């Protein structure tokens, strides 16, 4: 394809990508390329996929809406950048090699012959892989796995981080799996197949925020422990004080004498009198604190309150409770991490496969939505040529007038099936726009995509050559290079479509007519070329070629009051269209008076004389069906 064809392809892809619901789908659409003649089977396969997607969006609107919402969250899955404290240890070289991918996330160590697992208890978190690990009781925060254990279990923190990093995409997968899809609809069946292995995904994602079966209670008790304990301590002292407020101690004379003899006797009498009240208050306090700790499954230590007055908390006993809570929290976290990693590991590859499949499906659904919005249809692929019924240019930024036109065997009318045609017409009449529209439709069709038309037939080609209008007369060297390229296009084997815009601009008109007449002759003689050329030299080309050239014209019926063309954008077959200058001169004849009017009338007569002398009527009639 020429650079101009590549530019049009790029613009079409960018236009399609704007409709994507996700970056992943946008990137997928940007990879779409036309299929050459040698890849017809792949082209037909894509046409089927997109036709199926169009069926789903048009016939199952509510389902398509649900899918659009969920597919918008789809993205490529990736691993987060992180570093884990866990150390992975093994005693075998082959195992160490299998574990080497984990080195990006943690330390992976191979023990020496003089070491045992006990040398690695200095690390806070360890996964021992394969033989040589501890037997019986496993050290706290150690994970013992087989030599062939999945990497997701070897480094469970990495697995859980993967799920959190890709949470939006995973939730979208889960949402898609919950959608009730119609039966016997190929695109819906493809979606069902993509997510069939994700039965446990929803439940696993529901566990992702869990810190452990008892973690919330443990954390609550830890956070409130000292506050609650001090409050209970204060309540004990208040209760005893209130109970003893009205208490009295009666002493007889002999009691006083005994106390003089034994100084501790008074202390014992007072203790005896208050013992029941203090013990009762402490018992109640123990019950309250036991109930509080029991929420997290922690047993109340013995003697946490002293029986002496005033009753006080045993701080060391409470600190031991706090240590026990921390240990249980860590154990709960570790067990939860291992459980989640165990449940997530088999889902990693299944989710990745599902995402890839769904991005592909979403690309086709995006195209189907775009086709519905732009009123596009699937074109019919034929042997050669291109034909459109009410085709439209996609990239003008407004809704253009539809055009019906065709050349080659694709054309519906037998008389339009010439492989080479010249297109004439007024300046700004839409000739270049027509070329671009045919190029767009040809490119879209060869990508297996719908085209903006009521109906269309597009011939299979190997190459599309778009030759843009030259900016000015070329130098001798540039002209030679251009002619070499044209000759190569028109003489080498292979099916191709050539769309050229004012080739005569490469050199002066007289020479251009002779050169291009020869080029058109070569195109007519080439069995696999279709060529449409915009030209202002149609009469000269007819004369120079001596051949029966088909000349079509985009006719301007006149000018409106703003001197804007009134144009029928669909070319008239076998019609040499009038030029814009002639129309403007004709209008000036009508508007002016006196000498100015006479001047413009003489100029207009010159147009008529030129048209008579260069009339292509004979040649045109010879190609009329």
Which pair of tokens denotes residue 417? Answer: 């099936």
Domain map (residue ranges) of the chain: 85-154, 380-621
Q: Residues 6 or more apart from 356 whose CB is under 8 A from it?
A: none
**Cβ count near 369 (within 10 Å):** 18
pLDDT of residue 211: 60
Local mean pLDDT, 10-residue blocks, the chain (625 residues) = 90 96 95 93 96 94 93 95 95 95 96 93 94 88 93 95 95 95 94 95 86 72 84 77 57 57 57 62 80 81 71 81 80 83 95 97 96 96 94 92 93 84 82 95 97 96 88 66 85 91 80 87 91 90 86 80 75 77 80 87 76 46 31
Q: Residues 6 or more apart from 520 whose CB is under 8 A from it?
A: 420, 422, 531, 533, 541, 545, 547, 549
First-to-last C-alpha distance (Å) of the chain? 33
User: Nearest to residue 12, comparing CAs of 361, 367, 386, 365?
Assistant: 367
At residue 345, the 3 state secondary structure works out as helix
State how far the alpha carbon of 495 is from the alpha carbons of 228, 465, 484, 543, in Å: 88, 11, 19, 28
pLDDT of residue 314: 79
Find out whether 354 and 194 touch, Cβ atoms under 8 Å.
yes
Distance CA 615, CA 606 (A): 14
pTM for this model (two decimals): 0.78
pLDDT of residue 173: 96
Task: Encode burial over 339-352: b for 16+ CB neighbours within 10 A, e otherwise.
Answer: bbbebbbebbebbe
Q: What is the DSSP letter of 312?
A: -
User: Nearest to residue 362, comparing CAs of 19, 11, 12, 14?
Assistant: 19
pLDDT of residue 229: 83
What is the signed CA dihedral for 425, 427, 428, 434, rounded to 10 degrees?
Answer: 40
| Burial (Cβ within 10 Å: 0-12, 13-18, ≥19) of residue 587 | middle
Find out whether 259 and 265 touch, Cβ atoms under 8 Å.
yes
Distance CA 364, CA 322 (A): 59
At residue 180, the 3 state secondary structure works out as coil
Beta strand 565-567 pairing with 556-559: antiparallel
**Cβ count near 142 (within 10 Å):** 20
**Cβ count near 550 (within 10 Å):** 23
* CA-based radius of gyration for the chain: 44
State how far the alpha carbon of 48 is from the alpha carbons of 27, 52, 129, 182, 264, in Å: 21, 6, 49, 18, 104
pLDDT of residue 625: 27
At residue 110, the 3 state secondary structure works out as strand
Task: Tell me, rounded to whole angstroms, the distance of Cα 200 from its chain centroid.
Answer: 24
Query: What's the CATH code, domain 380-621?
Result: 3.40.50.300
Q: What is the DSSP letter of 474?
A: P
What is the signed CA dihedral for 579, 584, 587, 591, rounded to 10 degrees?
Answer: -170
Residue 420: which H helix or E strand, with range? Answer: strand 420-425
Distance CA 391, CA 455 (A): 8
Distance CA 408, CA 417 (A): 4
Task: Encode burial over 318-335: b for 16+ CB neighbours within 10 A, e otherwise.
Answer: beebeebbeebbbbbebe
pLDDT of residue 228: 84
């Amino acid at each position: 394809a020429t650079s101009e064809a590549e530019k049009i392809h790029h613009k079409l892809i960018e236009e399609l990508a704007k409709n994507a619901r996700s970056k992943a789908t946008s990137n997928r659409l940007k990879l779409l390329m036309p299929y050459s003649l040698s890849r017809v089977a792949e082209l037909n396969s894509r046409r089927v996929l997109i036709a199926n997607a169009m069926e789903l969006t048009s016939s199952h609107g509510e389902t398509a809406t649900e899918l659009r919402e969920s597919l918008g969250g789809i993205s490529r899955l990736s691993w987060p950048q992180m570093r884990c404290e866990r150390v992975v240890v093994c005693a075998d070289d082959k195992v160490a090699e299998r574990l080497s991918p984990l080195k990006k996330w943690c330390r992976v160590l191979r023990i020496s012959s003089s070491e045992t697992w006990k040398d690695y208890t200095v690390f806070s978190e360890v996964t021992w892989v394969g033989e040589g690990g501890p037997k019986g009781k496993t050290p706290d925060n150690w994970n013992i796995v087989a030599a062939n254990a999945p990497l997701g279990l070897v480094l469970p923190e990495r697995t859980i981080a993967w799920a959190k990093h890709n949470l939006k995409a995973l939730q979208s997968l889960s949402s898609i799996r919950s959608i009730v899809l119609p039966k016997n609809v190929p695109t819906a069946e493809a979606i069902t197949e993509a997510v069939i292995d994700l039965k446990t995904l929803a439940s696993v994602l529901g566990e992702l925020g869990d810190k452990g079966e008892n973690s919330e209670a443990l954390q609550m008790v830890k956070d409130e422990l000292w506050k609650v304990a001090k409050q209970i301590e204060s309540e004990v002292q208040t209760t005893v004080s209130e109970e003893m407020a009205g208490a009295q101690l009666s002493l007889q004379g002999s009691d006083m004498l005994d106390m003089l003899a034994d100084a501790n006797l008074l202390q014992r009498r007072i203790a005896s009198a208050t013992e029941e009240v203090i013990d009762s208050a402490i018992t109640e306090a123990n019950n309250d604190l036991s109930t509080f700790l029991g929420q997290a499954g922690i047993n109340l230590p013995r003697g946490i309150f002293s029986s002496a007055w005033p009753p006080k908390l045993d701080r060391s006993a409470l600190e031991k409770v706090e240590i026990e809570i921390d240990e249980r929290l860590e154990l709960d976290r570790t067990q939860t991490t291992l459980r989640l990693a165990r449940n997530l590991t088999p889902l990693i590859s299944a989710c990745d496969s599902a995402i890839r499949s769904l991005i592909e499906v979403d690309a086709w659904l995006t195209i189907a939505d775009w086709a519905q919005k732009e009123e596009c249809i699937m074109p019919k692929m034929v042997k050669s040529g291109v034909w459109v019924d009410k085709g439209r240019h996609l990239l003008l930024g407004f809704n253009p007038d539809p055009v019906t036109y065709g050349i080659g065997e694709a054309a519906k009318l037998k008389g339009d099936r010439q492989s080479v045609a010249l297109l004439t017409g007024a300046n700004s009449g839409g000739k270049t726009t027509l070329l671009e529209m045919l190029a767009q439709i040809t490119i879209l069709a060869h990508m297996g995509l719908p085209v903006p038309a009521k109906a269309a037939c597009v011939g299979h080609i190997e190459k599309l050559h778009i030759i843009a209008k030259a900016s000015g007369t070329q130098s001798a060297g540039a002209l030679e290079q251009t002619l070499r390229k044209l000759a190569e296009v028109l003489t080498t084997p292979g099916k191709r479509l050539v769309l050229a815009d004012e080739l005569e601009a490469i050199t002066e008109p007289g020479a251009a007519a002779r050169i291009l007449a020869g080029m058109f002759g070569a195109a007519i003689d080439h069995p696999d070329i279709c060529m449409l050329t915009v030209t202002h030299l149609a009469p000269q080309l007819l004369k120079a070629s001596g051949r029966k050239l088909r000349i079509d014209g985009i006719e301007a019926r006149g000018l409106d009051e703003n001197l804007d063309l009134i144009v029928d954008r669909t070319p008239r077959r076998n019609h040499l269209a009038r030029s814009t200058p002639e129309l403007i001169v004709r209008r000036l004849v009508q508007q002016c008076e006196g000498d100015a009017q006479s001047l413009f009338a003489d100029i207009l007569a010159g147009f008529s004389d030129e048209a008579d002398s260069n009339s292509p009527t004979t040649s045109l009639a010879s190609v009329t069906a």
